[in-house]
Structure 1
Amino acid sequence: MAKIALITGATSGIGAACAATFAAQGYDLILIARRENLLISQAEELTSKYNVQVKKIQADVRDKENINYVLDILPAEWKKVDVLVNNAGLSQGLDPIDKGDTDDWDRMIDTNVKGLLYVTKVVSSWMVERKQGHIINIGSIAGKEVYPNGNVYCATKHAVDALNKGMRVDLLPHGIKVTAINPGMVETEFSLVRFKGDENRAKKVYDGLEPLMAQDIADAIWYAASRPAHVNINDMLIMPTAQATGTIVKRD
């Protein structure tokens, strides 16, 4: 069987770009996402274009019991995951702490931190058994600095940054690589989700500048994944040329 990459949040943005990138390199794929219709069409396209095998898993990473179940019932040969890309994540709202929506907070914490942990616990145990594997966690510039009204989202990405370091230490004896990929502004569904479908507000985030695209991040992820066995990319911070920090950008 070919090498296997498991990607969460696989049907859009960075996740979809990663799926196509790894498929182009001959990897079979386990794709986890919430939107079954997109999973079906994505799998058909990747299978046809790249002649790879694709396992579709319609699931929400926040649902611990279901994640444990859907991963546990995979055939043994599909549990030989070489690369795990923990991409599922989101931001909700952009409000000061005193006006924040606690439902938004729960969704961000449950997805960005707990969901990442639920998937990682299962897949890392498979990697430990095989004494090999590579975990790639998608963080953010928001995990390196805090910006106004970012409060809880920034806190979740700081948590991911800490988890990267903790995983790297804990999994070192087993020969498992851990990489952090931290993008700045990437034009995906991110802002549309943050602003709950407000297309005009989402579009203004990128007005007057050229943001990163999902494929830019997928290329960086593939670079990290394709290094020789003795090389690990610990941490990568990727920004558009027009962005210096989380909040300082050059707009034309």
Structure 2
Amino acid sequence: MLVTGASRGIGVAIARAFAEQGADVMLAARSLPAITDLATELRSQYGVRAVPVQADMADRESLQSLMARVPKELGGLDVVVNNAGILPKAERAENLSWGDWDEALHINLSAPWYLACRAKELMTDGGVIINNASTAAYFPARGLAAYNVSKAALVMLTRVLALEWAAEGVRVVGVAPGKIQTDLVEPVLRWTAKHDLPLNPMRRIGAATEVADLVAFLASEKAGYLTGVTVPVDGGELLTAGAEPGR
């Protein structure tokens, strides 16, 4: 299996969850030292094949090189987790630069589209593609136009690919994490605390392992009749999206 954004947070938890089940894992991220250390850990602890590959989700040639290594390193492919993502700094829509906009769309949407399409070509016996979206796909937030749009589009991409590929035995599903304790979400958590806003109905922050466990389930045969859905893992956050602060 292949997991992108495997150098930290949810990506690390996903890689560990699959390795624990005995899966060989290709780890992709921009930080080679981080995924090299993780690969060493997975090989030592679980006895699986773990291959670190430096890849830039914003660079087309890097993505092409990544996918060219998959059959050489793994021999085949049955699961891809498009986990890599970027949360741009908060900025009103009219103040965004072309570069900021393009970076968010490239990493959060275009890279998952490309990797899914190339992966599907390698899934000769069927497979599962899992896209990591966000609860931000479902409600707008001030200052996060590029992020909101890219994640909403990723949810729709999940549905379209699922529709097109279902008859060929390839399932495409997604997860939509809410407030999870990771470096990426830390600025959001600080802002929420500063303004004394409720986290979610469960009143706690989620753990990366809780997302990873859901991803592992979605990739398993137990979820074999699921495709085209994006499952929230958010402590009920979407239940109150748009509600007035404190309600």
The TM-score with structure 1 as length reference comes to 0.86
User: Residues 223 and 82 from structure 1, CA distance in 2 versus in 1: closer, same or farther, beyond 3 angstroms?
Assistant: same
Tell me whether 1:125 sits opposite 2:121 in the alignment.
yes
Kindly provide the amino acid, as one letter, of the partner of residue 238 in structure 1: V
The CA deviation at 1:222 is: 1.2
Aligned partners of 2:70 and 2:76 also within 8 Å: no
Please identify, of 74-83 and 131-140, the stretch whose mean Cα deviation from structure 2 is larger. 74-83
Equivalent residue for 1:218? 212
Distance apart, 1:7 and its partner CA: 0.2
1:27 to 23, 42, 53: 23
Moved more, 44-53 or 183-192: 183-192
Distance 2:25 2:190 in 1: 32
Residue deviations 1:110-161 (CA, integer Å, cap 9, x gap): 100111122112111111xx13100011111111222222212110011101
Q: Distance in 2 between matches of 1:55 and 1:148?
A: 39
Distance in 2 of aligned mates of 1:72 and 1:7: 15
Tell me, yes or no, if the aligned pair for 1:14 and 1:215 is still in contact at 8 Å.
Answer: yes
Q: 2:116 corresponds to which letter in structure 1?
A: T
SS class of match (1:44): helix
Q: Give, as a single letter, the amino acid of the residue that structure 1 aligns with 2:163.
A: V
User: Is the alpha carbon distance of 1:214 and 1:102 closer, same or farther for their aligned partners in structure 2, counting shifts above 3 Å?
Assistant: same
Asked if the contact 1:211–1:242 (Cα under 8 Å) also holds between the matched residues in 2, the reply is no
2:221 aligns with 227
Secondary structure at 1:155 match in 2: helix
Letter matched to residue 168 of structure 1 = A
Q: Please, which runs of 5 or more residues in structure 2 have no aligned partner?
A: 197-202
Q: Which residue of 2 aligns with 1:237?
A: 232
Residues 1:77 and 1:204: Cα distance change in structure 2 (over 3 Å): closer
Distance 1:93 1:53, change over 3 A: same
For residues 147 and 54 of structure 1, the distance between their equivalents in structure 2, rounded to whole angstroms, comes to: 38
Is 1:180 paired with 2:174? yes
Q: 1:138 maps to which residue?
A: 132
1:4-50 per-position Cα deviation (integer Å, ceiling 9, x unaligned)? x2100011111100000000010010110000110111111111111
- 5 Å-filtered alignment, 1:80-229, equals 80-127=76-123, 130-192=124-186, 203-205=190-192, 209-228=203-222
What is the alpha-carbon distance in structure 1 between the residues aligned to residue 150 and residue 67 of structure 2? 24
Counterpart for residue 199 of structure 2:
none
For these two proteins, the number of residue pairs brought into alignment is 238
Do the aligned residues in 2 keep the contact of 1:147 with 1:246 (CA within 8 Å)? no
1:13 & 1:232 partners in 2: Cα distance?
Answer: 26
Aligned residues: percent identity? Answer: 27
Looking at structure 1, the residues matched to 242 and 125 of structure 2 have their Cα atoms a distance apart, in angstroms, of 41
Measured at CA, do residues 120 and 242 of structure 1 come closer, stay the same or move farther in structure 2, by a change above 3 Å? closer
Q: CA deviation at 1:244?
A: 4.0
Once residues 232 and 212 of structure 2 are traced to their aligned partners in structure 1, the CA distance between those partners, rounded to angstroms, is: 13
3-state SS, counterpart of residue 190 of structure 1: coil
Deviates more, 1:41-50 or 1:144-153: 144-153
The CA deviation string for residues 187-231 of structure 1, in whole angstroms up to 9 with x for no partner, is 212135xx6xxxxx7634457752111111001111211233742
Q: Distance in 1 between matches of 2:205 and 2:244?
A: 10
Is there any run of 5+ residues in structure 1 with no aligned partner, and where?
Answer: 196-200
Quote the Cα distance in structure 2 between the aligned partners of 1:202 and 1:133.
35
Of 36, 40, 60, which residue of structure 1 is paired with 2:36? 40
RMSD: 2.3
Q: Does 1:16 align with 2:3?
A: no
SS of the residue 1:173 aligns to:
helix
CA distance in 1, matches of 2:14, 2:3: 8
- Quickly say closer, same or farther: Cα 1:43–1:15, change in 2 above 3 A: same
